[in-house]
Homo-oligomer: A and B are copies of this chain.
Amino acid sequence: MDELEIDAVAEVELDDPVLVEGLPGVGHVGSLAAEHLLEELEGESTLVRRIYSREFPPKVSIEDGVAELTCAEIHAVSVPDGRDLLVLTGDHQAQTNDGHYALASAFLDVAESFGASELYALGGVPTGELIEEYAVVGAVTDESLIEPLEDAGVEFRDDEPAGGIVGVSGLLLGLGDRRGFEATCLMGETSGYLVDPKSARAVLEVLEQMLGFELDYERLDERADEMEDVIGKIQEMEQQQQQMDVPTDDDLRYIG
């Protein structure tokens, strides 16, 4: 196996498509958003590429007894009355610094081969506390992209996120810019402790406005309700614990 192998599962003609990336990260915001997008637009979507890499964990996942080698997938989506999409999903990011560069480059190669020159990287930005109002924070490769995003409700803040954007989302902007992509990162605010379907919805609502598609949110809202129940139980436990001991953030990290 080479460092990287790209399987061409199907070929489709797309008109000036936009790459939308949703790999796992903070609060699983990006992956929840991208997977919901694919579920809701299932009728219009086609799996076009599988990307295998020695940079992924050496692993197969098992469903009903059948093994699937870890990979990233790119679906082509022909949205009626909207922009064509290339949606990038997967179970893993790269396992090394070097691997992040290799995979982000490969994703851009595929996007270019379909004629894409714009991209949206979806993710979460951790706030450290439970959230009432879900703001979406933006970062772009060119100042000219800011105004239309602000019109869609995206917030741009001085020096935020403070530590920059790390991993594939960051590199899709950084390496994308060097290759002439207009790239935007949309980061839904999220506590950072829990899988966060509400934050994913906030990000998708911005994307709807920017790219001209419309989604039903019933399934995502159901998952949000399930999380509400979990949060409720955690808060109960916390109150009980506070009468006994100091609770820690680790108690509620990534339950979903």
Contact = CB atoms under 8 A, between A and B. Distances in A.
B58 A156 contact: no
Given A105-B1, A174-B70, A166 B58 contact: yes
Nearest to A5: B178
Contact of A65 (B68, B97, B139, B175): B139
A175 to B, nearest CB: 6
A30 to B, nearest CB: 15
A231 interface: no
A164 interface: yes
B185 A67 contact: yes
Interface stretch (A141-149, A188-196, A218-226): A141-149
A58 B139 contact: no
Interface in A124-155: 138-143, 146
A160 interface: yes
B178 A69 contact: yes
Interface in A41-83: 52, 54-70
Contacts of A55: 97-98
B174 A62 contact: no
Contacts of A94: 58
Interface residues on chain A, size class: 35 or more
A69 B101 contact: no
A174 B61 CA distance: 9
A143 B174 CA distance: 42
Contacts of A173: 60, 67, 69
Given A67-B185, A177-B67, A170 B58 contact: yes
A57 B166 contact: yes
Contacts of A5: 178
A180 to B, nearest CB: 14
22 contacts: A1-B101, A1-B105, A1-B178, A52-B178, A54-B98, A58-B100, A58-B167, A59-B170, A60-B170, A60-B171, A62-B164, A64-B156, A64-B158, A64-B159, A65-B138, A65-B140, A65-B157, A67-B139, A69-B173, A69-B177, A69-B178, A96-B97
Interface of A: 1, 5, 52, 54-70, 94-98, 100-102, 104-105, 138-143, 146, 156-161, 164-168, 170-171, 173-175, 177-178, 183, 185
